[in-house]
Amino acid sequence: AQRVTQPEKLLSVFKGAPVELKCNYSYSGSPELFWYVQYSRQRLQLLLRHISRESIKGFTADLNKGETSFHLKKPFAQEEDSAMYYCALKGQGAQKLVFGQGTRLTINP
Amino acid sequence: DAGVIQSPRHEVTEMGQEVTLRCKPISGHNSLFWYRQTMMRGLELLIYFNNNVPIDDSGMPEDRFSAKMPNASFSTLKIQPSEPRDSAVYFCASSLRQGGLGTQYFGPGTRLLVL
């Protein structure tokens, strides 16, 4: 079965501090992993996907197949990073996205 | 493009009433998804369509829920009769399916409260 686990419902860090949002998944094949973000009063939007191996708004995420993880990291948090973050998985050749429960990130000034 | 459009944005109804949620996907997209978001269960896929045809409705909770896509630019999610436990935010998303890829773009959601 496909499953995505985000162990932290809430995460609070100070501005300028490093931030890491954890995501672990369960899938027997080669998944495609995503991070979606929802800022206050805005719609859910794609932040990054593992196949792109890009950095968006200073965030990066590396797929670790050995640990079945896809943690989202940023070295220096900014106040505008405060939002709800969802990790999602898509199975090989599939269209369905399976989402984690989400982590609410708050950046304190 | 205005993105995915959903209506209404908020709906308050009484138990037993019929509720219809509407979605207009991004023009040119050929896949459409309906999700439900609750505090307890997070974001769950209810059903999705490719080229207006329902592909997977395994996430539809029960027969009270039905979804249609009569054409490429419109879809509805209907709950009849509604129950308090259906209270949630319902999201519609669309994508352009090309070789298994295709980023899903989400609408603003409909916040449903069933009293």
Which of B35, B57, B95, B104 is most worth mutating to test chain A (most A CB atoms within 10 A of its CB)?
A: B104
Look at B42 and A46 and tell me if their CB atoms are within 8 Å: no
Q: Do B91 and A44 touch (CB under 8 A)?
A: yes
According to the model, what pLDDT value does residue A93 have? Answer: 78
Q: pLDDT by residue for chain B (115 residues), tens digit each?
A: 679 999 999 999 999 999 999 999 999 999 999 999 998 888 999 999 999 999 999 999 889 999 999 999 999 999 999 999 999 999 999 998 765 567 899 999 999 999 9
Question: Distance between terminal CA atoms of chain B?
Answer: 35
Rounded to whole angstroms, what are the CA distances from A35 to A9, A91, B32, B101? 15, 15, 19, 15
What is the tens place of the pLDDT at every residue in A12-51? 999 999 999 999 999 988 889 999 999 998 899 999 988 7
Angstrom distances, CA of residue B56 to CA of A75, A104, B26, B44, B62: 40, 30, 20, 13, 14
Q: Do A95 and B55 touch (CB under 8 A)?
A: yes
Residue type, B107: G
pLDDT tens-place string over residues A42-96: 899 999 988 777 888 999 998 898 999 999 999 999 999 999 999 999 988 788 8
Q: What does the DSSP 8-state code read for residue B58?
A: T
Report the pLDDT value the prediction gives residue B100, as an integer from 0 to 100: 52
- Residue A30 phi/psi, 5-degree rounding, is -100, 105
> At a CB cut-off of 8 Å and minimum separation 6, what does B27 contact?
B1, B73
Residue B98 has a pLDDT of 67
Distances, alpha carbon B44 to alpha carbons A13, A35, B33, B102, in Å: 28, 16, 10, 19
Strands B5-7 and B53-56: unpaired
Nearest to A101 among B31, B42, B100 (CB): B42
How high is the pLDDT of residue B1? Answer: 66
Instruction: Return d(Cα B17, Cα A104) in angstroms, integer.
Output: 34
Question: How many angstroms separate the CA atoms of B115 and B111, rounded?
Answer: 13
pLDDT score of A106 more than 90: yes
Separation between Cα atoms, residue B65 and residue B81, nearest integer Å = 9
